Amino acid sequence: MKKGPWRYYLLALLVIFVDQALKLWVHFNMQMGPQGAIRLIGDWFKLHYTLNPGMAFGIQFGFRHGKLILTLGRIVAAFVIGYHIWRLWRRGDMLRGQLWGWALVLGGAVGNVIDSTFYAVWLDNGPQNAPMTWFNGQVIDMLYLDVWETWIPAWVPLVGNSYIAVFPIFNLADIAILLGGVLIIFWARRNIINKYALFSKPTTAEPSPAASQQPPSPSESIENLGSAE
């Protein structure tokens, strides 16, 4: 019996729950900024409460309604990924491995969509110049690999006048998206290799009856001619 796709959606829901639980714990129990950081492993892995107003690495569109457009785009992408999981499930067993990857991506995407959609209303963490509270929340990040950081001068486009780290501060939703992408690439590559091996496998065709009848040798022809006389 063919199993339904619900186990993949359940994995996405688990990612969303754990991601949101950690974000809310950080918001209500930690002080924002480096002064409130909590060391987890030495000085290089910390919990560091910060807000991300844009995309990865804090990149923003740079105009007043940029965050609104980004959030709406994230919502559309989440629905597309959810529908894509259902389509892959219907296509067959060759794509089962990719489904787990897409489930992680879906969970991570929705986890960050919740921040962007509701947190400016629920947690009042929207930027000061936001045109509205809905769809303008900032994503909560907290996982920090404190290896090296530097100041970016103001003339650098998009990320100027800010600190940037070798490993930027991220969250569990970002980890889920990254792991999901790795799984998708791995299984896609494996499926390509398997298909290539299937089509390139040499086949041994049975000889046809006509080809199996070898012409008689000259000596056999002479003997047959003598016996006929």
Active site residues: 141, 174
CA–CA gap between residue 199 and residue 147 (Å, rounded): 48
DSSP 214: P
Q: Residue 165: enclosing H or E segment and its boundaries?
A: strand 162-165
229 contact partners, CB below 8 Å, separation of at least 6:
none
Lookup result for tokens 């040499």: 202
Going from the C-alpha of 48 to that of each of 11, 26, 114, 165, 191, the distances in angstroms are 27, 9, 20, 13, 40
Q: Residue 45: enclosing H or E segment and its boundaries?
A: strand 45-52
CA–CA gap between residue 162 and residue 202 (Å, rounded): 60
CA–CA gap between residue 12 and residue 17 (Å, rounded): 9
DSSP 163: E
